[in-house]
Amino acid sequence: MSDAKEKLAPFLTMALERGVDHARIIETPSIITAPWVRLKCQFGCFGYGRGLCCPPYTPTPEGMRGILDSYSHAILLHRHWQKGYAVLDEFNELVVDIEKALFLDGYYKAWGMGSGPCRRCKKCDPTGSCLHADRSRPSMEACGIDAFATAREHDLPIQVLRTHKEERDIFGVVLVE
Ligand code: SF4
**pLDDT tens string 33-59:** 999 999 999 998 999 999 999 999 999
The secondary structure of residue 35, as a DSSP letter, is T
H-state helical runs in 18-130: 36-42, 61-68, 85-104
- Which residue's alpha carbon is at the smallest distance from atom 8 of ligand 1? 124
Ligand 1 pocket by Cβ (under 6 Å): 51-53, 118, 120-121, 124, 130-132, 136
Atom of ligand 1 at shortest range from CA of 128: 3
Ligand 1 center–CA 154 separation, angstroms: 31
Atom of ligand 1 at shortest range from CA of 119: 7
Atom of ligand 1 at shortest range from CA of 124: 8
List, in order, residues 6 or more apart from 43 with CB less than 8 Å away. Answer: none
Q: How does pLDDT run across 116-144, given as a tens digit for each residue?
A: 999 999 999 999 999 999 999 999 999 99
Whether the per-residue pLDDT at 83 is higher than 80: the answer is no
* pTM given for the model: 0.95
Q: What is the pLDDT of residue 1?
A: 65
The answer to whether the peptide bond before residue 56 is cis (omega within 30 degrees of 0) is: yes
